[in-house]
Amino acid sequence: MPTLGIIVAMREELEIVLERLQEPQTLQRAGMDFHRGSYLGKPVVAVVCGVGKVNAAACTQMLISEFAVGSIINIGIAGAVEPSIRPGDIVIADTLVQHDVELKALGLAPGQVFRLDTFDFPTDPALLAIAQTAAQQIEGHQVHTGRIVTGDQFIACNDKIQWLSATFNALACEMESGAIAQVCYLNTVPFVCIRSISDNANNDAHMDFDTFLPIAVNNASTLLHAMVPSC
């Protein structure tokens, strides 16, 4: 059975997996703890990658090259870009773009990666469908599917979210999954990303963030428990 890689941003989001991991083994690579074992009968390697694109890319390549995972789930938090999306809601990515990639001087569009045939990295349709089914278990919050944008910036600015919306038609923004998506694309590894909205990425983002973090952690636990057996 192929091993599933699980990447989260925060340790709390892994608690449900770590509590129930059978035959657990932890290996340190690139300063990260990779927890290997069986979760709900599925071989998994679960890891907290930390914040930002470099951490996320290093973690993803390690999962693929060293732990030979067959597919990857990324769960975490995001800021809302689309105004109708509220903290506590879930956004499942169908594509991911790195909003901070900028080679305009060379005639490239925002987000366009130099000499790569795409920069709007799609998630895997089968994993996306599993995520959508699992997300039905989240009560009291809306579930949205669409583009998530990634950059090495915590967005807390009204002008910036308007730019992200106008330029990329993005639903949400965060700091890792576009990099994970590019590494998965380069290695032809199926990938999906599910994010709970922790803030509105506006001038009050830090206040929302503290309030909605526990909800996001709870959502992550519910989603992982529902998804992993089907992956």
34: amino acid identity, one letter: F
**Is 13 a catalytic site residue?**
yes
Residue 26 Cβ vs ligand ADE, minimum distance, rounded to whole Å? 26
Contact assessment for residue 73 and residue 59, using Cβ atoms and an 8 Å cutoff: no
Beta-carbon contacts of 29 under 8 Å, excluding residues fewer than 6 positions away, are 62, 66
Considering the complex, state which of residue 35 and residue 53 has its C-beta at the smaller distance from ligand ADE: 53
Least distance CB 56 / ligand ADE (angstroms):
12
Instruction: Rank residues 67 and 163 by Cβ distance to ligand ADE and give the closer one.
Output: 163
Q: Is 82 in the site for ligand ADE (CB under 6 A)?
A: no
Q: Which residue among the candidates 12, 13, 139, 208 is catalytic per the annotation?
A: 13
* Contact between 176 and ligand ADE per CB under 6 A: no
Interface residue with ligand ADE among 160, 199, 219, 227 (CB under 6 A) is 199
Is 189 among the residues that bind ligand ADE (CB under 6 A)?
no
Q: Is 219 a residue that touches ligand ADE (CB under 6 A)?
A: no
Task: State which residue, 90 or 155, has the beta carbon closest to ligand ADE.
Answer: 155
Can you read off the two tokens belonging to residue 53? 């694109």
Distance CA 153, CA 55 (A): 14
Query: What is the C-alpha to C-alpha distance for residues 104 and 178, in angstroms, rounded to an integer?
Result: 19
Give yes or no for residue 91 binding ligand ADE (CB under 6 A). no
CB of 7 closer than 8 Å to CB of 180: yes
Look at the block and give the residue holding tokens 């990324």.
Answer: 74
Which residue type does 31 have?
A: G
Which of 12, 102, 143, 154: binder of ligand ADE (CB under 6 A)?
A: 154
Query: Is residue 96 within the footprint of ligand ADE (CB under 6 A)?
Result: no
- Could you confirm whether 117 is annotated as catalytic? no
For residues 197 and 78, what is the distance between their CA atoms, to the nearest angstrom? Answer: 5
Based on the shown chain and the rule CB under 6 A, indicate whether residue 79 belongs to the binding site for ligand ADE: yes
**Rounded-to-integer distance, Cα 108 and Cα 101, Å:** 10
Q: Output the CA torsion 118→98→196→143 (10° steps).
A: -40
Report the residue from 63, 130, 175, 220 that binds ligand ADE according to the rule CB under 6 A. Answer: 175
Q: State the Cα–Cα distance between residues 135 and 220, nearest whole angstrom.
A: 10
CB of 219 to ligand ADE, least distance (A): 13
The Cα–Cα gap between 183 and 211 comes to 32
163 binds ligand ADE (CB under 6 A): no
Least distance (Å) from ligand ADE to the CB of residue 153? 6
| Size of interface with ligand ADE, in residues (CB under 6 A) | 13
Q: Would you please indicate which residues are annotated as catalytic (active-site) residues?
A: 13, 199
